[in-house]
């Protein structure tokens, strides 16, 4: 039998294989398994429908945030168009499902690929631009896509929106929160696994090299433009994938939610979670979605407490305030995000009870 | 033909406003290389401060104007001191997101106190200021705003050219390290440029408010309209901001008049992408040479 591995009390790695290993110890493997069992076998059966809905939203946001983390956290390209790409995915799925009558399991990945193509088109400026100029170019992309979604009425039905058919998978109808919970979280697990492994291959290493210094990366023989486009493509694929699932989950979609505000929310998830960290993107999705729900809940309480409706209405603006405050405080006090806090907490427990 | 001239005049005056709004933005970028996403909210802060002073406190207009300028100055100073200074030397994404966060804080505050409705200033411009050119009429607000815009442009030109602080600011913009080694107090320059930029923003906010009425959402949307303007003019050229503003203003009014009003908001961004693809540093911007 293999010996259980524990954390060594120093850095004793001798090969690259040890460096890129996913689980350093068997404890990690055990906790991951336990977590997955808890997630799939316990959580859907003990939680209320509302909580399940929140979990589903977190799962969808986490998929999109993982994608954005590849782009911002690993490749160092700042995109302000992620919300629009999410919308492209949602619309692609809706159009494929209604016009072409494609089944759910084809629509979702196909929407991902459509969005990946769109993302690569809007990633073309990254060939000549970097830093804040690229950020402004993606901002323009956000506005252009938003305009197209609203005004290309023959395709997107403008402000009327599109109603999606029922999603079916292997002959089973997926409706309601619990079936979608399984779909979303199986996808999230797959996507996380994929992301982790992309980052361990030469593609991931090339992305990180480009982030650290793209000129130097080019000098070392990495063709930076194709890799930047690839990064845009992968990240938009995730956004489109999440958007497609979201569209099926929401049943009907309009062009309303895919604004710059949504893009900013995704960036906030990535930053608050921790740039360049896979658990970070998930933490960020939990934090931002949770914050949104808590604030909505507070607003409802104030509204129903019989306060003047004017005051209740003003509470809605406090959501904006709290959201901004969360971003600013994290940047000022913990720029590495929740992932860093998590790491510190874990390393405190590592030597427990025999700490220094 | 009259229609064309009317559009031209409207475009020019709106463009001048965009240019005016962009001036503060460029000033911040020029000295501290910060892309300020909260610029629209700075405009709105100025506009609402003026509203409070004129309608609720009932101060005379010139006094309210001066107090608004002073208030915006202090606000800009405080923002730099509290939020931006800890981030000197941090990577771009943090600085950008910090200004995005600030934008949503300001927006939330303004919405909380004033709501999302349209407010208007009491009428204070003399009607005689309007100019009639044949069939074309230029309303008094446009005349006044153009006047204010030109006055401020000249004042800033003189400030940057002759005053010691202005020269310090230019030196920091040109080469931060060299300025530091020659004894320029770079942090003070950052604080001052934020303060001045907020002051210009407050003033532009008032002008915008006089023309369109003040609404939090609309004024903060102008803050995003600044991006195509400054990319056209170059992120670090104040004169370019005015030219860029005028080009974007004309583009918008002509699209609105001749093609379709709904295209108005998206055309500037389409132009922006094209310009970035052809000339990555804008029409008048400085090319950065980067060495590994």
List, for residues A279-312, the tens digit of each pLDDT value.
899 999 999 999 888 888 887 777 776 655 555 5
Q: Is the pTM of this model over 0.90?
A: no
* Whole-number Cα distances in Å, B222 to A99, A183, B13, B42, B214: 38, 42, 15, 11, 12
| Gyration radius of chain B over CA positions | 19
Question: How many of the other CB atoms lie within 10 Å of CB of A225?
Answer: 15
Q: Is the pLDDT of residue B9 over 90?
A: no
Q: How far apart are the C-alpha atoms of A69 and A198, rounded to whole Å? A: 12
Looking at every residue in chain B, the average pLDDT score rounds to 82
Distance from CA of A332 to the nearest CA of B (A): 7
Q: How far apart are CA A255 and CA A263, in angstroms?
A: 14
Nearest to B74, CA basis, from B41, B37, B42: B42
Measured distance CA(A137)–CA(B236) in Å, rounded: 17
CA angle B30–B35–B39, rounded 5-degree value: 100
Closest CA to A94 of A260, A258, A246, A256: A246
Closest-approach residue (CA) in chain A for B268: A140
A residues 201..240 contacting B (CB < 8 A): 213, 215-216, 219
Q: Which domains does chain A have, with CATH numbers?
A: 47-349 (1.10.3470)
Summarize the confidence of residues A60-71 as an average pLDDT.
92
A316-335 pLDDT, tens digit per residue, is 677 788 888 988 998 888 88
Which is it for strands A172-174 and B131-133: parallel, antiparallel or unpaired?
unpaired
The pLDDT value recorded for residue A88 is 92
- Cβ contacts of A203 within 8 Å, gap of 6 or more: A227, A230
- State which H helix or E strand residue B250 sits in: helix B238-254
- Contact (Cβ atoms closer than 8 angstroms) between residue B109 and residue A321: yes
Q: Is the peptide bond before A242 cis (omega within 30 degrees of 0)?
A: no
**What's the confidence (pLDDT) of residue A234?**
93
| pLDDT class of B126 with cuts at 50, 70, 90 | low
Res. A315: pLDDT tops 80 = no
User: Is it the case that residue B122 has pLDDT exceeding 80?
Assistant: no
For residues A164 and A251, the answer to whether their CB atoms sit within 8 Å is: yes
Asked if B31 and B272 count as a contact pair (C-beta separation under 8 A), the reply is: no
Answer for the pair A61, A288: CB distance below 8 angstroms, yes or no.
yes
Average pLDDT, chain A: 84
Structure tokens at B137: 């009429």
pLDDT tens per residue across span A77-116: 888 889 999 999 999 988 888 888 788 888 889 999 999 9
Spacing of C-alpha A283 from chain mean position: 10
State the DSSP H helix or E strand holding residue B150, giving kind and residue range, or none if neither: helix B140-162
> Which H/E stretch holds residue B179?
helix B176-181
Map residue B291 onto helix, strand or coil: coil
Please state the rounded mean pLDDT for residues B175-199: 86
Classify burial at B264, counting beta carbons within 10 Å of its beta carbon; exposed 0-12, middle 13-18, buried 19 or more.
middle
Contacts of B265 in chain A (CB under 8 A): 143, 147
Angle made by CA atoms B32, B37, B146, in degrees to the nearest 5 = 85
The residue among A345 and B287 whose pLDDT is bigger is A345
Q: Is the pLDDT of residue B19 over 90?
A: no
CA distance B282 to A137: 12
What is the complex's ipTM, to 2 decimals? 0.84
Q: Sorting pLDDT into bands at 50, 70 and 90, what band is B223?
A: confident
Residues B209-227: what's their mean pLDDT?
82
**B175 vs B241: CA distance, rounded Å:** 21
User: What value does the mean pLDDT take over residues B49-66?
Assistant: 84
Q: Report residue A66 as tokens.
A: 């993982």
Task: Write out pLDDT tens, residues A248-274.
Answer: 888 888 888 888 888 988 998 999 988
pLDDT digits (tens, 9 = 90+) for B21-48: 888 888 888 777 788 888 889 889 988 9
Does B93 contact A317 at a Cβ distance shorter than 8 Å? Answer: no
> If you average pLDDT over each of A25-29, A108-112, B178-182, B209-213, which comes out highest?
A108-112
At A70, the pLDDT band (50, 70, 90 cuts) reads very high
Would you call A84 an interface residue with chain B, using a CB distance cutoff of 8 Å?
A: no
Distance (Å, whole) CA B195 – CA B190: 9
Record: contact B108-A322, CB cut-off 8 A: yes
| Residue to substitute from A211, A324, A336, interface B, most B β-carbons within 10 A | A324
pLDDT of residue A355: 62
Strand partners, A163: A252
Return the biggest CA–CA distance within chain B: 61
Domains and CATH numbers, chain B: 2-278 (1.10.3470)
Select from B104, B262, B266 the Cβ nearest to the Cβ of A320.
B104
DSSP state of B22: H
Alpha-carbon dihedral angle through residues A249, A254, A256, A258, given to the nearest 10 degrees: 60
Is pLDDT above 90 for A63?
yes
* pLDDT over 90 (residue B13): no
What would the pLDDT profile of A224-257 be if each residue is shown by its tens digit?
A: 899 999 999 999 999 999 999 998 888 888 888 8
Least confident of A307-316, B174-183, B273-282: A307-316
Residues β-bridged to residue B133:
B136
pLDDT at A2: 64
Q: What percentage of chain A exceeds 90 in pLDDT?
A: 22
pLDDT score of A136: 85
């Amino acid at each position: 039998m293999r010996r259980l591995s524990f954390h060594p009390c120093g850095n004793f790695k001798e090969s690259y294989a040890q460096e890129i290993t996913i689980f350093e110890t068997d404890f990690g493997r055990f906790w991951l398994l336990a977590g997955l069992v808890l997630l799939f076998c316990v959580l859907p059966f003990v939680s209320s429908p509302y909580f399940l809905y929140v979990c589903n939203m977190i799962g969808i946001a986490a998929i999109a945030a993982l994608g954005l983390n590849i782009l911002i956290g690993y490749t160092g390209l700042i995109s302000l168009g992620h919300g629009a790409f999410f919308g492209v995915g949602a619309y692609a799925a809706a159009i494929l499902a209604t016009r072409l009558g494609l089944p759910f399991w084809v629509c979702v990945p196909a929407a991902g690929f459509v969005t990946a193509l769109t993302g690569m088109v809007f990633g073309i400026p990254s060939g000549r631009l970097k830093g804040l100029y690229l950020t402004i170019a993606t901002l323009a992309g956000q506005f252009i896509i938003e305009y197209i979604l609203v005004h290309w009425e023959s395709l997107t039905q403008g402000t009327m929106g599109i109603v999606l058919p029922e999603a079916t998978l292997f002959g089973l109808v997926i409706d309601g929160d619990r079936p979608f919970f399984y779909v979303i979280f199986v996808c999230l697990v797959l996507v996380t696994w994929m992301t982790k492994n992309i980052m361990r291959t030469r593609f991931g290493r090339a992305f990180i090299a480009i982030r650290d210094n793209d000129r130097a990366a080019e000098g070392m023989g990495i063709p930076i433009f194709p890799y930047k486009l690839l990064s845009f493509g992968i990240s938009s694929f995730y956004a489109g994938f999440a958007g497609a699932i979201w569209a099926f989950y929401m049943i009907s979609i309009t062009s309303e939610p895919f604004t710059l505000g949504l893009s900013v929310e995704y960036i906030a998830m990535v930053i608050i979670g921790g740039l360049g960290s896979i658990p970070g993107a998930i933490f960020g999705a939990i934090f931002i979605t949770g914050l949104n729900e808590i604030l909505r809940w507070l607003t409802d309480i104030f509204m129903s407490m019989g306060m003047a409706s004017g005051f209740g209405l003003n509470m809605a603006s406090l959501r904006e305030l709290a959201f901004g405050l969360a971003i600013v405080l994290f940047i000022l006090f913990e720029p590495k995000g929740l992932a860093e806090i998590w790491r510190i907490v874990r390393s405190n427990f590592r030597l427990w009870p025999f700490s220094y | 033909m009259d229609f064309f001239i009317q559009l031209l005049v409207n475009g020019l005056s709106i463009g001048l406003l965009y240019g005016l709004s962009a001036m503060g933005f460029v000033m911040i970028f020029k000295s501290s290389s910060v892309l300020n996403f909260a610029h629209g909210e700075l405009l709105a802060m100025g506009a609402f401060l003026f509203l409070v002073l004129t309608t609720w406190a009932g101060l005379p207009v010139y006094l309210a104007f001066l107090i608004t300028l002073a208030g915006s100055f202090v606000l800009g100073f405080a923002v730099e001191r509290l939020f931006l200074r800890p981030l000197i030397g941090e990577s771009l994404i943090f600085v950008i997101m910090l200004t995005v966060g600030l934008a949503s804080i300001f927006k939330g505050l303004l919405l909380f106190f004033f709501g999302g409705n349209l407010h208007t200033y009491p009428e204070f411009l003399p009607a005689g200021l309007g100019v009639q050119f044949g069939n074309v009429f230029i309303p008094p607000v446009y005349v006044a705003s153009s006047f204010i815009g030109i006055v401020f442009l000249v004042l800033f030109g003189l400030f940057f050219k002759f005053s010691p602080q202005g020269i310090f600011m230019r030196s920091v913009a040109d080469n931060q390290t060299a300025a530091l080694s020659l004894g320029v107090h770079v942090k003070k320059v950052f604080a001052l440029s934020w303060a001045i930029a907020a002051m210009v923003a407050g003033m532009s906010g008032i002008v915008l408010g006089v023309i369109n009425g003040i609404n939090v959402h609309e004024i903060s949307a102008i803050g995003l309209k600044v991006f195509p303007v400054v990319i056209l003019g170059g992120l670090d050229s104040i004169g370019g901001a005015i030219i860029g503003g005028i080009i974007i203003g004309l583009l918008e009014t002509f699209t609105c008049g001749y093609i379709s009003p709904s295209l108005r908001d998206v055309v500037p961004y389409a132009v922006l992408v094209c310009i970035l693809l052809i000339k990555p540093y804008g029409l008048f911007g400085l090319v950065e040479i980067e060495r590994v």
